[in-house]
Amino acid sequence: VASFFFIGLMSMMIPLCHVFGGLIAVCLFMGLFDGCFICIMAPIAFELVGAQDVSQAIGFLLGFMSIPMTVGPPIAGLLRDHLGTYDVAFYLAGVPPLIGGAILCVIPWVHERQKLKERAKPGDGETTEKMLENENTLVLDGTEKPVKEM
């Protein structure tokens, strides 16, 4: 999530670099965080879909990533033609990673809420416990014959 945020932030900082050294620093940080994102993509896909479907999930992720990488440069060129500067294109390129990072921050919270809802529902475990309690009271009454152990 931090990598995603920093990729978006660094994209937005490119137009603010008026010195070549600043541009180099921004690009170094952007490359570092992009490498972190790419490295963690496979383990996250593995955790989400399981071992059997991980190759298909990574293929889908890379396929979806190719769409903005293919369409982005012509759109940036159109923005440059109409506005006379690339600044807006860089600012707009930083927005999706920031939104994606925000969504990724919410996922653990939603997952935890689902777990709490599942725990709140009476499950099979409670039914089994009640059945065992009833069976034990019958055995302890003495009027019933002992139950055979399996």
pLDDT exceeds cutoff 50 at 39: yes
Rounded-to-integer distance, Cα 139 and Cα 24, Å: 79
- Give residue 60's domain range: 1-120
136 domain residue, yes or no: no
Under DSSP, the state recorded for 18 is -
87 falls in which pLDDT band (50, 70, 90)? very high
Burial grade of 25 (CB within 10 A; 0-12, 13-18, 19 or more) = middle
Report yes or no on 145 lying in a domain: no
The whole-model pTM stands at 0.65
Q: Is residue 128 part of a domain?
A: no
pLDDT digits (tens, 9 = 90+) for 110-126: 878 888 888 877 555 55
Number of structural domains the chain divides into: 1
